[in-house]
């Protein structure tokens, strides 16, 4: 593979310490986290060197990408996507077109492992994918269906045994001259066969298929403890945690995950609560809204979606608790805004121009008739607005406490457009008090740190994966400039602005 080089470009390495050699002007700019007039050389999917263009000599076969006047940042990481909300490779292409070169998926299935491999081989346009397996959850997530299915299995087993016994008896009678079967008796056999086959199907394929491919039903501590190692052996990157998990199963799941060396990540179970979960440790959090119960007066885990009065006086203590636990925590501020918006005006999200890249079935799930947030919070619009504001107030407290905050768009949720709204998330973080540099770090170097990949990606330095985004202007002056994308490199594969426009054109309805 030919080496590539982005030449004469202003580099924002995001590595917190890398300092290319340069003149006094370059050294002064470095204090602002920008290294002007640099050449970044890439070979075999890795960054080989970052050096001043004036002193860099390139081999004749190097493909050069002119970066004069432009700004180069590491590829962005979206640390909270859910492919269940748009389970097509097109969703991953939308991420790439918006500069997302790494994505963490909650609630995966086996086909996502295939997509991960296709992306790595360059057969599919998309970011490097980190994916959980199906989310371990109790059968109670099926609601009434769980209470229906298990008795059906018992009835089916009884009917199967009855049918086998009846046929055996009738065969014996026919052989020894007894009366032949009647229509009524044959109907009984048919019923037994039907019920028995139902039992057999449920026994063979299991209840997880009833719950869907994104959920793995567990109902014992032994099953919960085995789940992380089983998913790791299957090739998944981590285990996701569901809010519905009972405390005993939660403890068992975390015990099992400890043996894999990979921290589970996701929601805090309602029956456990953030105080116990953070004190116990061992889990990363998907969004800052997982901390809300600590600020909701008289929170009742049996009614997590009820409206509660807020007490924000403990924000600093909560932030320090998160930092002490060493748990990373996803942001999710833009989702909170969108939930509040959908509680009062669903049509507003459907009128966004970016929705032209989403298929009809996704937009249908966003509609007034099917929108889960409108149904759940339609009478709590002002409360949801207050929740969103409270979560934004937590961000500076988390930053001051030294908590590991990472950017996650919650793509897959109604109201969040894949790729485009990671940019919205970074803007929301700055609105909440972070500097543009801090917000950018949450989607690059800090994101890599949160999954134990420090220096492997999320930075522009030798040896790192060649995930790069070329921007038209400096995002450290205005974070919204991350939208001004001129090209994206994902694991060493270059996509020009023309390439990205062509990719978007194929996705447009």
Secondary structure of 295-337 as H, E, C letters: CECCCCCCCCCCCCCECCCCHHHHHHHHHHHCCEEECCHHHHH
Please give the Cα distance from 378 to 345 (Å, whole number): 9
Q: What is the pLDDT, as a whole number, of residue 20?
A: 44
- What does the buried/exposed string (b/e) look like for 282-298 if buried means 16 or more CB atoms within 10 Å of the residue's CB? bbbbbbbbbbbbbbbee
What band does 165 get if pLDDT is binned at 50, 70 and 90? Answer: low
Number of Cβ atoms within 10 Å of the Cβ of 149 = 16
Q: What is the pLDDT, as a whole number, of residue 168?
A: 62
Range with the poorest average pLDDT among 203-207, 453-457, 459-463? 203-207
For range 357-386, the mean pLDDT: 96
Q: Which residues contact 418 (CB under 8 A, 6 or more apart)?
A: 81, 86, 91, 94, 95, 98, 357, 358, 409, 411, 412
Whether pLDDT at 29 is above 80: no
Q: What is the pLDDT, as a whole number, of residue 360?
A: 96
DSSP state for residue 115 in the 8-state scheme = H
Please give the Cα distance from 253 to 221 (Å, whole number): 8
Q: What is the pLDDT, as a whole number, of residue 16?
A: 77
Q: What is the pLDDT, as a whole number, of residue 1?
A: 80
For range 186-212, the mean pLDDT: 59
Six token digits for residue 41? 């050389």
Q: What is the pLDDT, as a whole number, of residue 509?
A: 87
Residue 480, classed as helix, strand or coil, is: helix
Number of Cβ atoms within 10 Å of the Cβ of 202 = 18
Q: What is the pLDDT, as a whole number, of residue 460?
A: 98
What band does 212 get if pLDDT is binned at 50, 70 and 90? Answer: confident
Percent of the chain with pLDDT over 90: 81
Whether pLDDT at 22 is above 50: no
Spans of all domains in the chain: 79-135+218-458, 140-211
Q: What is the pLDDT, as a whole number, of residue 269?
A: 97
Six token digits for residue 148? 């229906």
- Strand (E) positions, 123-225? 128-131, 135-137, 215-217
Q: What is the pLDDT, as a whole number, of residue 432?
A: 98
Please name the residue ranges forming H helices in 206-289. 207-211, 221-234, 247-258, 274-280
Whether pLDDT at 229 is above 70: yes
Q: Which CATH architecture has domain 79-135+218-458?
A: Alpha-Beta Barrel (3.20)
What band does 208 get if pLDDT is binned at 50, 70 and 90? Answer: very low
- What does the buried/exposed string (b/e) look like for 313-343 if buried means 16 or more CB atoms within 10 Å of the residue's CB? eebeebbbbbbebebbbbbbbbbbbbbbbbb
Q: What is the pLDDT, as a whole number, of residue 152?
A: 54
Six token digits for residue 198? 């139902």
Closest C-alpha to 51, from 75, 28, 23, 79:
23
Q: What is the pLDDT, as a whole number, of residue 141?
A: 72
What band does 140 get if pLDDT is binned at 50, 70 and 90? Answer: confident
Q: What is the pLDDT, as a whole number, of residue 144?
A: 45
Please give the Cα distance from 442 to 439 (Å, whole number): 5
pTM of structure? 0.87
Measure the N-to-C terminal CA separation of the chain; round to a whole number of Å: 35
For range 431-438, the mean pLDDT: 96
For range 256-282, the mean pLDDT: 96
Whether pLDDT at 470 is above 80: yes
Percent of the chain with pLDDT over 70: 83
Phi, psi of 187 (to 5 degrees): -60, -40
Q: What is the pLDDT, as a whole number, of residue 439?
A: 97
Please give the Cα distance from 315 to 391 (Å, whole number): 10
């Amino acid at each position: 593979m030919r080496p590539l080089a982005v030449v004469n470009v202003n580099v924002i390495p995001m590595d917190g310490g890398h300092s290319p050699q340069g003149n006094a002007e370059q050294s002064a700019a470095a204090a602002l986290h920008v290294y002007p007039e640099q050449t970044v050389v890439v070979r075999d999917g890795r960054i080989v060197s970052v050096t001043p263009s004036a002193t860099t000599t390139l081999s004749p076969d190097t493909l050069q990408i002119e970066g004069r006047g432009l700004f180069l940042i590491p590829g962005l990481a979206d640390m909270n996507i859910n492919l269940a909300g748009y389970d097509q490779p097109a969703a991953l292409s939308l991420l790439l077109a918006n500069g997302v070169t790494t994505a963490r998926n909650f609630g995966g299935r086996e086909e996502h492992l295939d997509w991960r491999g296709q992306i790595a081989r360059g057969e599919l346009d998309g970011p490097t994918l980190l994916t959980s397996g199906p989310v371990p959850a109790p059968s109670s997530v099926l609601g009434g269906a769980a209470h229906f299915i298990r008795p059906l299995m018992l009835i089916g087993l009884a009917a199967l045994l009855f049918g086998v016994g009846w046929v055996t008896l009738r065969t014996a009678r026919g052989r020894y001259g007894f009366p032949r079967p009647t229509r009524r008796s044959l109907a009984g056999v048919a019923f037994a066969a039907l019920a028995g086959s139902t039992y057999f199907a449920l026994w063979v394929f299991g209840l997880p298929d009833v719950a869907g491919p994104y959920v793995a039903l567990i109902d014992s501590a032994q099953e919960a403890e085995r789940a992380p190692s089983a998913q790791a052996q299957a090739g998944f990157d981590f285990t996701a945690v569901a809010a519905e998990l009972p405390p005993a199963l939660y403890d068992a799941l975390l015990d099992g995950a400890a043996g894999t060396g990979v921290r589970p990540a996701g929601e805090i179970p309602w029956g456990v609560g953030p105080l116990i979960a953070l004190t116990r440790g061992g889990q990363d959090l998907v969004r800052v809204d997982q901390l809300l119960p600590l600020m909701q007066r008289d929170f009742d885990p049996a009614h997590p979606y009820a409206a509660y009065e807020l007490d924000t006086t403990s924000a600093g203590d909560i932030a320090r608790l998160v930092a002490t636990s060493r748990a990373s925590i996803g942001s999710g501020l833009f989702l909170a805004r969108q939930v509040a918006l959908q509680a009062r005006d669903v049509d507003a999200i459907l009128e966004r121009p970016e929705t032209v890249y989403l298929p009809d079935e996704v937009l249908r799930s966003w509609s007034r008739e099917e929108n889960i947030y409108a149904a759940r919070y339609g009478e709590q619009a002002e409360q949801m607005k207050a929740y969103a504001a409270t979560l934004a107030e937590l961000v500076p407290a988390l930053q001051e406490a030294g908590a590991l905050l990472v950017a996650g768009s919650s793509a897959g949720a109604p109201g969040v457009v894949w790729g485009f709204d990671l940019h919205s998330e970074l803007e929301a973080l700055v609105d909440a008090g972070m500097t543009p540099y801090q917000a950018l770090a949450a989607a690059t170097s800090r994101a890599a740190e949160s999954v134990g990949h420090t220096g492997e990606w999320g930075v522009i330095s030798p040896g790192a994966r060649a995930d790069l985004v070329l921007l038209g202007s400096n995002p450290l002056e205005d974070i919204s400039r991350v939208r001004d994308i001129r090209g994206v490199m994902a694991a060493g594969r270059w996509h020009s602005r023309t390439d990205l426009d062509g990719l978007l054109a194929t996705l447009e309805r």
